[in-house]
Structure 1
């Protein structure tokens, strides 16, 4: 089989979950004898230590609706005899380009790496808040409050338009959690729901809980203002670092908000920013993993951390989180978006080694459900079903 992964940006596994999942699947598909290609919309400077397992190709322009891109794409698919296009941007507008294939023999699979509703459940947190202390901002906030019902209606309308297009132009819509079906039902009322298939993300790491742990909290992910919200973690840390001077906070990742957070962290102690890096050494040495996102799809970092015996905390703000974290058993789910409760649960783990170790062991057991072998088998079943 000739398999093409398409996405806006490159699949550097150190940059995020989508990228890491693609890297894992690519290497597994290659081992199975398949051919794999990457095609991306935007060229980015990649770290020198990143070596792609396959050739990376780029669209000639960075426009989704470019006629030049579409011509290039059709020729690329035919020249490389592509059997399957795996669209890793299934939730977003890039799909309009990635799903435009020249014939029906090329099968398309759109993966929803985020909840289909994205941040809709907590839209008020983003819209109905003061963005600065200027007088004009208070008037803008009042206007946003008045318009908020319309903002919500427009949001759902745009989601419906997107999913009508997606289901019409793709052969299979891959969700990462059964809980995402409820979200799809809110934005798609068509008769092609038989296209939905469930394949979770794989965890490539073998369970390893043997390394002695440092007194360390860990964040792994993009440092962005959107869904990830690592700024919340600094607020959480501000309540902890003086009370627990032997503990430190490690932040692995990068993004446009990093300089802002680094400036805020100067007023605190023992906060370390290490940029994009292989997270494995930090998983091995950390005791507690902190996720502070508004929403996710099926976040890879949770089972990855748990496979190394790192106990996770996350806000109970997206459906799939309960597939991974069983509250009070292998981690903690925090009511969205209570900083007070988050701090309280971290303190339980800091002050009780036995509870932390029991949860770590439960997490190691759980992640075995997401082995690469199991997930790749499900992908191959999907390939053969679509080719019938």
Structure 2
């Protein structure tokens, strides 16, 4: 079984968790009697060493251009692709037209899409963020509308999110979710009690091998991830403020970068938090290896 991953931007091989996930998938299929190979198709490249892939000729977010369709169909035939896995695209508009044309020309190929969050992730995140939105942070007409009419914005966003998921379900042969519990949630979202083209595959976690015995690890509590609203970092820092004097030998290390980085740095300074270090974007494995708590 030859699998083609369709994505906007090529992610680096080996070091990337999504690449690890798809590699595990093909290894599992091969071990269970369906010999599988992995190929990639993408619009943009930020990794000069990218392997085993097709760089589409037109960098158009919706994919639907004559040159992209011809290049993709040629590659599908050349590599004898059996399955196309869409990587986190919103399958509406020109992206939907692209997939429908691929199916018309290659009826033997199965089309799958992977949703790497909960089905209602967009509205859940906005419901978390909007109550905290301040006028000074409401940039542009959209931001001002969110600040003035948060309930109306959430109502409209739910309609958009529902439409996007209905379009994905009506276009693809299968929707792959992260958890079996998301299957009934997805059905409710698209209004189909009998929706059957739904599966669940949990995220793969790359094993972290350590040569440091647990009793020799540093007294460090480490956060690794994006400095974005859904990560709840102000809450983490508030918790640290509550316990820092009870843990005088411990340090809090925060590895990563993102939109809330400056806010976290300012919060650390304003509250005079002790033994907190922001590292910025780093390779996280050495930090995880030496820390006692992740």
Among 280, 291, 294, the residue aligned to 1:286: 291
Among 21, 32, 36, the residue aligned to 1:34: 36
The 3 A distance-change label for structure 1 pair 34 and 144 is closer
- Residue 114 of structure 2 is matched in structure 1 by 111
Does the aligned pair in 1 maintain the 2:145–2:153 contact within 8 Å? no
For residues 141 and 90 of structure 1, what CA distance do their matches in structure 2 show?
Answer: 24
SS of alignment partner, residue 167 of structure 1: helix
Does the aligned pair in 2 maintain the 1:41–1:61 contact within 8 Å? yes
SS of alignment partner, residue 75 of structure 2: helix
For residues 234 and 263 of structure 1, what CA distance do their matches in structure 2 show?
Answer: 11
- Residue 219 of structure 1 is matched in structure 2 by 223
- Residue 55 of structure 2 is matched in structure 1 by 58
SS of alignment partner, residue 219 of structure 1: strand
Does the aligned pair in 1 maintain the 2:253–2:278 contact within 8 Å? yes
Does the aligned pair in 2 maintain the 1:14–1:277 contact within 8 Å? no
1:221 to partner: Cα distance = 2.1
**What is the TM-score of this pair, normalised by structure 2?**
0.75
SS of alignment partner, residue 194 of structure 1: coil
For residues 284 and 27 of structure 2, what CA distance do their matches in structure 1 show?
Answer: 17
Tell me the alpha carbon deviations over residues 14-73 of structure 1, each in whole angstroms, 9 at most, x when there is no partner. 887545423544566688752211222333357xxxx66x42433331421541433433
- Residue 83 of structure 1 is matched in structure 2 by 82
For residues 18 and 90 of structure 2, what CA distance do their matches in structure 1 show?
Answer: 12
1:91 to partner: Cα distance = 5.9
Does the aligned pair in 1 maintain the 2:162–2:190 contact within 8 Å? yes
Counterparts of 1:10-29 in structure 2, within 5 Å, are 10-12=10-12, 17-25=17-25
Counterparts of 1:1-388 in structure 2, within 5 Å, are 1-12=1-12, 17-25=17-25, 33-44=35-46, 54-59=51-56, 60-64=58-62, 66-67=64-65, 68-89=67-88, 96=96, 99-100=99-100, 101=102, 102-121=105-124, 123-132=126-135, 144=146, 147-190=149-192, 193-205=195-207, 210-212=213-215, 213-225=217-229, 227-258=230-261, 261-262=264-265, 264-265=267-268, 268=273, 269-273=275-279, 275-279=281-285, 281-289=286-294
Does the aligned pair in 1 maintain the 2:115–2:177 contact within 8 Å? yes
SS of alignment partner, residue 151 of structure 1: helix
Does the aligned pair in 1 maintain the 2:64–2:95 contact within 8 Å? no
1:251 to partner: Cα distance = 2.7
Provide structure 1 residue ranges, at least 5 long, that are not aligned to the other structure: 290-388
Does the aligned pair in 2 maintain the 1:129–1:141 contact within 8 Å? no
Structure number with the higher strand fraction is 2
1:89 to partner: Cα distance = 0.9
SS of alignment partner, residue 41 of structure 1: strand
For residues 198 and 262 of structure 1, what CA distance do their matches in structure 2 show?
Answer: 38
For residues 122 and 186 of structure 1, what CA distance do their matches in structure 2 show?
Answer: 19
SS of alignment partner, residue 115 of structure 1: coil
For residues 146 and 35 of structure 1, what CA distance do their matches in structure 2 show?
Answer: 51
1:255 to partner: Cα distance = 3.7
SS of alignment partner, residue 120 of structure 1: helix
SS of alignment partner, residue 38 of structure 2: strand
Does the aligned pair in 2 maintain the 1:172–1:196 contact within 8 Å? yes
1:274 to partner: Cα distance = 5.2
The 3 A distance-change label for structure 1 pair 71 and 245 is farther
Tell me the alpha carbon deviations over residues 298-324 of structure 1, each in whole angstroms, 9 at most, x when there is no partner. xxxxxxxxxxxxxxxxxxxxxxxxxxx
SS of alignment partner, residue 181 of structure 1: helix
